[in-house]
């Protein structure tokens, strides 16, 4: 699937994907990933995950996605109970994957720091997905 063919996944679709996942134990090296975790390339189970879509808008000429985060209950970026809000950072830069071993839905984005590049992953919990939007 090329970058131009990746379907945009809306919050309701992401929630439905996560609700449909079976609860099988996984043999991948991902671990729980209930909050954002740094996942080096050698730990990413490329052979057993498939990219199914993206939370990133495909229009490269549109406005820059916000860097604003959504934490109405005083959670933090890496909190396991932080809301999964696709209109906010870092979700608005994520691709969506499913694991063929455990059916988990995983979000992955790349953090570009001043001196590093870091892939980060979080497992989707359906009850945390929200369609909240940034204020205009």
Q: What is the pLDDT of residues 39-68, one digit of tens each?
A: 988 889 999 999 999 999 876 677 788 999
67 assigned to some structural domain? yes
Element (H, E) at 17: helix 11-20
Whole-number pLDDT of residue 13 = 97
DSSP 77-103: TT-TT--B-TTSTTGGG-EEEEETTT-
3 assigned to some structural domain? no
**Which residue ranges in the chain fall short of pLDDT 70?**
1-4, 22-24, 27, 59-60
| Structural domain for 79, as ranges | 11-128
Over the chain, what is the mean pLDDT? 89
105 assigned to some structural domain? yes
Can you name the residues that pair with 96 across neighbouring β-strands? 53, 107
What is the tally of structural domains in the chain?
1
6 assigned to some structural domain? no
Prediction pTM value: 0.90
């Amino acid at each position: 699937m090329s970058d131009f063919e990746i379907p945009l996944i809306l919050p309701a679709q992401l929630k439905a994907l996560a609700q449909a996942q079976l609860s099988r134990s996984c043999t991948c090296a991902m671990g729980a990933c209930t909050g954002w975790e740094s996942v080096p390339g050698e730990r990413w189970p490329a052979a057993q995950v498939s990219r199914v879509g993206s939370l990133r808008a495909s229009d490269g000429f549109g406005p820059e996605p916000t860097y604003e985060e959504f934490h109405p209950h005083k959670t933090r970026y890496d909190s396991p109970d932080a809301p999964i809000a696709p209109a906010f950072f870092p979700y608005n830069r994520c691709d969506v994957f499913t694991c063929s071993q455990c059916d988990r839905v995983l979000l992955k984005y790349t953090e570009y720091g001043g001196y590093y590049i870091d892939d980060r992953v979080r497992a989707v919990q359906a009850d945390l997905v929200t369609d909240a939007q940034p204020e205009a």
